[in-house]
Structure 1
Amino acid sequence: MRVFLALIMTVALALPARAEVDIQEVTSIGGLTAWLVEEPSIPFAAVEIRFRGGASLDAPGKRGAINLMTALLEEGAGDMDARAFVRAKEELATTLSFDASNDAVSVSARFLTENRAESMALLKAALTQPRFDPEAIERVRGQVQSIISSDLKDPNDIARQTFRELVFGDHPYGSSLNGTEASVAALTRDDLLAAHRAVLAQDRVYISAVGDITPDELGVLMDDLLGDLPETGAPRPERVEVDIPPGVTVVDFATPQSVAIFGQRGIKQSDPDYFAAVILNHALGGGSFESRLMEEVREKRGLTYGVYSYLAPRDLAETYQGSVSSSNDRIAEAIAVIRDEWRKAATEGLTVEEIDAAKTYITGAYPLRFDGNATIANILVGMQMLDLPIDYIATRNDRVMAVSPEDISRVASELLDPDGLHFVVVGQPEGVESTAAN
């Protein structure tokens, strides 16, 4: 029986991409709001929940508490210890997962219609009655500390952490959400209970559902599932005014290949020019082998296996970042080429051919994202957190196509700051030294 149920879930996840998504807004009696795509053809549904704030709500001196708390939500709840909780999920053929980022705690549920009530009761127990048993805390704490220890020896993670500290300082964004070995070691059960109250609250929740569930059923589900959570959570940190100093930071690390993270100030996802920036970045460094950086740094000069750039808007700060790795004796040349391409794009913009290719890819890839209930639910909850209109899916590609070459040239000149780029280089690079601007 369980094999059969699992097969149904697999089929539901593999539904073909949909050309249209009919979204309904549902408000529960208790005042909670969700977006719903009703799809009764298969007896399966996916529910996505986000609590805004995430690990940025860690209390001072308690970095890593929300990450550890989130990891423990499936380690026992109510009268079930960790093993009993896992058995209950398996018997129901239900998938529950929990994750923390700096801006949100994410909760994902996938379940069969016939098991909806039992599955949601299990999820409610995890959200409202987590056990935080001592043995579970120590086991998961050990897993987190192992990750932290590994990151301290990884040049990529060292570069990322150095860049975070440079840009965000003592703001929560300035450190890993995992915490440090010392901060995680010091966390108590009371700290985890406080972290739970801080982030899992009704005033910051976003909900979506896709599948075999009606608006009335979803309204009842929301109130029952979330109605016992605190009405308000902890206040969020202030916004970060990104002011990255130009220059280079070198972190000495014994390795034959240097890793570099580079970046500058970014652009808000709500900015009217955001799609122009997306097109610009695709052509400059976000389009894999078709980008200028890949062509100039890898294909023409053989300086790296890969180089890329990406827009990194967060709730409280925006950066524009990239990454490259090269041998110690060639990383200086790679940095020079990246700065040069940044400057060319800033002064010359993109060609019509580059713009057309970027638009074709960006609009063509978008429908492929809608490949199953869980994926669509994830997109819907993300749209809500970004305060996008409910018809955004239908209009998004039109917005991309409406961006003109003049828009892109203007945004390139305003956004790209070749002299303001900062490179964090981890390795033993030849001809690269830390600058006084650090």
Structure 2
Amino acid sequence: MSEPITPRRLLAGSTLLVLAGWLATFSAQAADAASAGQPTRGLQSVSELGSTAPSHRRLNIQNWTTAEGAKVLFVEAHELPMFDLRLTFAAGSSQDQNHPGIALLTNAMLNEGVAGKDVSAIAQGFEGLGADFSNGAYRDMAVASLRSLSDTDKRTPALKLFADVVGKPTFPADALVRIKNQLLASFEFQKQNPAKLASNELFTRLYGSHPYAHPSEGDAKSLPGLSIEQLRAFHKRAYAAGNAVIAIVGDLSRSEAEQIAAQVSGALPKGPALAKPAQPAAPEAGVTHIDFPSKQTQMFIAQLGIDRKDPDFAALSMGNQILGGGAFGTRLMSEVREKRGLTYGVYSAFTPMQVRGPFMINLQTRAELGDGTLKLVQDILRDYLKTGPTQEELDNAKREQAGSFPLSNASNASIVAQLGATGFYDMPLTWMEDFLQQSQALTVEQVKTAMNKHLDADKLVIVTAGPKVAQQPLPAPTDKPSEQPLGVPEH
């Protein structure tokens, strides 16, 4: 799961995006309450947080390494008779080398066949045990997850099937043809999606020849030639035990967790961890436009950001939350949507990865207002870098963060995702607590300094997609824009 650039849709959600990135579960608290038959109520105002941060669950993270070299992180959680298991491999598209799409295709083929079972039998096997299997591949990583009842009668066969699926897939030929055809069909669909076209072009402009440049799914040229032998070779190299992080959360003892980790690790190919990509070179700033017939223009405004271990992570996360990392009330949303009605939503995000991931602002606006909207967004960023946040903005962002922090470990699913990320990015076991403490201690000047250290409004890489139409001047800012934003973004 790459490191998606996902806008926050709830007031209290931006910290979850920061803490677990693409790994957070925004609805965990509401889902838990609903399943218990309790009424749920979302946070309506920052003022509801009060002056005291809500208490949060402190995690006792145990860690060790298996005989085959897999990292293991484990948290006991006996509230429910079940457990979550997540394997994270450095097996994303950054490891594709000269075969774009091979990482995603290999991951998609894991549960298509094992000895004696086809894809239907595998699905029925998990379902019959009350277990759930999921998987995915992104730029940095590939994952495979199991949720199962912790009772031995259910746990043992579920783990056996999971270990076979992840460690010993057979890569059946008919399944390979089917999945390739599905991906090739999706490439045709993408030609009608200006956001996808612009996103692909943006990563090409940002990363050039770097492994992050190409889409995780590959392309119509690379995919057809990938063979079963190449997938098997990639699996042997990238799904090796030494290249894996095993995260376990649930109703298990330490000894049971050790047995599970040993079983899964032993089922994987033998081999070491893969080297992470080199840091990308700085891109050339500029604007690229893709002509596309639509009523709106899609915009991506970006620079290279930071890697996951950058010491400025907390300050940049806080600075971005104020700029555009949240919903209503951010600088970008206030000026672009609320005062002028130019867009349904405008969001910004740092996406830290193994090496420098992107900082990005994205939005859609009416095609005839595209030039003016682009300039407005650039001016907002430039002014924000010049002045920094106000003390009131920073105080509100801190309170919002403190209020949403308990959600980051409210469910086993969110915890196992965090453990996987912690191990994968080689973070300290205390990084979440450290992050909260660092964030709450930030000053206006520290946030301003960090944002200016990593961003420059004159060095932006910009990609737009939309029609070429005569441009109109932007409406003046007002408390009640005469024309409201379109209700649903195109595509």
TM-score normalised per structure 1 = 0.91
1:219 matched to 2:258? The reply is yes
Q: Tell me, yes or no, if the aligned pair for 2:64 and 2:73 is still in contact at 8 Å.
A: yes
Q: Tell me, yes or no, if the aligned pair for 1:78 and 1:126 is still in contact at 8 Å.
A: no
1:36 maps to which residue?
74
The residue type paired with residue 221 of structure 1 is I
1:70 maps to which residue?
107
1:396 maps to which residue?
435
Pick from 147, 150, 162: which aligns with 1:113?
Answer: 150
1:147 maps to which residue?
186
1:367 matched to 2:402? The reply is no
Q: Tell me, yes or no, if the aligned pair for 1:55 and 1:104 is still in contact at 8 Å.
A: yes
Gaps of 5+ in 2: 1-30, 39-54, 472-491
Q: Which runs of 4+ in 1 moved over 6 A?
A: 10-13
The residue type paired with residue 35 of structure 1 is L
Instruction: Tell me how far 1:317 sits from its aligned partner.
Output: 2.3
SS at match of 1:153: coil
Deviates more, 1:51-60 or 1:72-81: 51-60
Pick from 70, 80, 84: which aligns with 2:117?
Answer: 80
The residue type paired with residue 465 of structure 2 is V
Q: Tell me, yes or no, if the aligned pair for 1:105 and 1:199 is still in contact at 8 Å.
A: no
Instruction: Tell me how far 1:56 sits from its aligned partner.
Output: 1.4
The residue type paired with residue 111 of structure 2 is E
Instruction: Tell me how far 1:29 sits from its aligned partner.
Output: 5.1
SS at match of 1:388: coil
CA distance in 1, matches of 2:70, 2:298: 46
1:1-33 deviation digits (Å, cap 9, x = unpaired):
xxxxxxxxx979968995222222244455543
Instruction: Tell me how far 1:416 sits from its aligned partner.
Output: 2.5
| Inter-CA distance 422–297: structure 2 relative to 1 (3 Å threshold) | same
Instruction: Tell me how far 1:343 sits from its aligned partner.
Output: 0.9
CA distance in 1, matches of 2:330, 2:203: 26
| Inter-CA distance 315–217: structure 2 relative to 1 (3 Å threshold) | same
1:49 matched to 2:87? The reply is yes
Task: Among all aligned residue pairs of Structure 1 and Structure 2, give the percentage whose two residues are the same amino acid.
Answer: 28
1:265 maps to which residue?
304
CA distance in 2, matches of 1:88, 1:179: 31
2:220 maps to which residue?
181
CA distance in 2, matches of 1:13, 1:224: 35
Pick from 271, 275, 286: which aligns with 2:325?
Answer: 286
CA distance in 1, matches of 2:347, 2:468: 20
The residue type paired with residue 42 of structure 1 is L
CA distance in 2, matches of 1:117, 1:338: 55
Q: CA RMSD in A?
A: 2.2
CA distance in 1, matches of 2:242, 2:71: 11
CA distance in 1, matches of 2:63, 2:279: 33
1:44-88 deviation digits (Å, cap 9, x = unpaired):
11111101242211131x211121111111112121111111111
Deviates more, 1:81-90 or 1:138-147: 138-147
Instruction: Tell me how far 1:391 sits from its aligned partner.
Output: 2.4
The residue type paired with residue 279 of structure 1 is M
1:435 maps to which residue?
none
TM-score normalised per structure 2 = 0.81
Q: How is 1:126-275 mapped onto 2 (pairs within 5 angstroms)?
A: 126-232=165-271, 235-236=274-275, 238-275=277-314
1:322 matched to 2:370? The reply is no
CA distance in 1, matches of 2:237, 2:87: 16
Q: Tell me, yes or no, if the aligned pair for 1:45 and 1:209 is still in contact at 8 Å.
A: yes
SS at match of 1:310: strand
CA distance in 2, matches of 1:250, 1:11: 45
1:94 matched to 2:131? The reply is yes
Instruction: Tell me how far 1:250 sits from its aligned partner.
Output: 0.8
Q: Tell me, yes or no, if the aligned pair for 1:345 and 1:412 is still in contact at 8 Å.
A: no
CA distance in 1, matches of 2:252, 2:265: 17
